[in-house]
Amino acid sequence: MANGILKGKKGIIFGALNDKSIAWQVSLKAHAEGAEFVLTNAPIAMRMGEINNLAATCGNAQIIPCDVSKDEDMQNLVTKSMEILGGKIDFVLHSVGMSMNIRKGKSYTELDYKFMHDTLDISAISFHRLMKTLYNDDAMKNEGSILALTYIAAQRVFPDYSEMADAKSLLESITRSFGYHFGKRNKVRVNTISQSPTVTTAGSGVKGFGTFVDYAEALSPLGNANAEECADYVISMFSDYTKKVTMQNLFHDGGFSFTGFSEDVFNVGK
Ligand X SMILES: NC(=O)c1ccc[n+]([C@@H]2O[C@H](COP(=O)([O-])OP(=O)(O)OC[C@H]3O[C@@H](n4cnc5c(N)ncnc54)[C@H](O)[C@@H]3O)[C@@H](O)[C@H]2O)c1
- Nearest Cα neighbor of 64 from 47, 31, 39 is 39
Contacting ligand X (CB under 6 A), which of 38, 42, 93, 120? 42
By C-beta, is 95 or 248 nearer to ligand X? 95
Contact status, residue 28 vs residue 1, Cβ threshold 8 Å: no
Least distance in angstroms from the C-beta of 228 to ligand X: 12
Q: How many residues does the chain have?
A: 270
64 binds ligand X (CB under 6 A): no
By C-beta, is 61 or 68 nearer to ligand X? 68
By C-beta, is 42 or 125 nearer to ligand X? 42
By C-beta, is 21 or 101 nearer to ligand X? 21
200 binds ligand X (CB under 6 A): yes
Number of residues engaging ligand X in binding (CB under 6 A): 26
User: Restricting to residues 89-118, which ones interact with ligand X according to CB under 6 A?
Assistant: 95-98
Q: Cα(116)–Cα(8) distance, rounded to whole angstroms?
A: 40
Contacting ligand X (CB under 6 A), which of 28, 32, 50, 67? 67
By C-beta, is 36 or 73 nearer to ligand X? 73
15 binds ligand X (CB under 6 A): yes
Contacting ligand X (CB under 6 A), which of 81, 195, 220, 224? 195
Mask of contacts with ligand X, 202-241, x by CB under 6 A? xx--------------------------------------
Binding site for ligand X (CB under 6 A): 15, 17, 21-23, 41-42, 45, 67-69, 95-98, 122, 149-151, 195, 197-198, 200-203
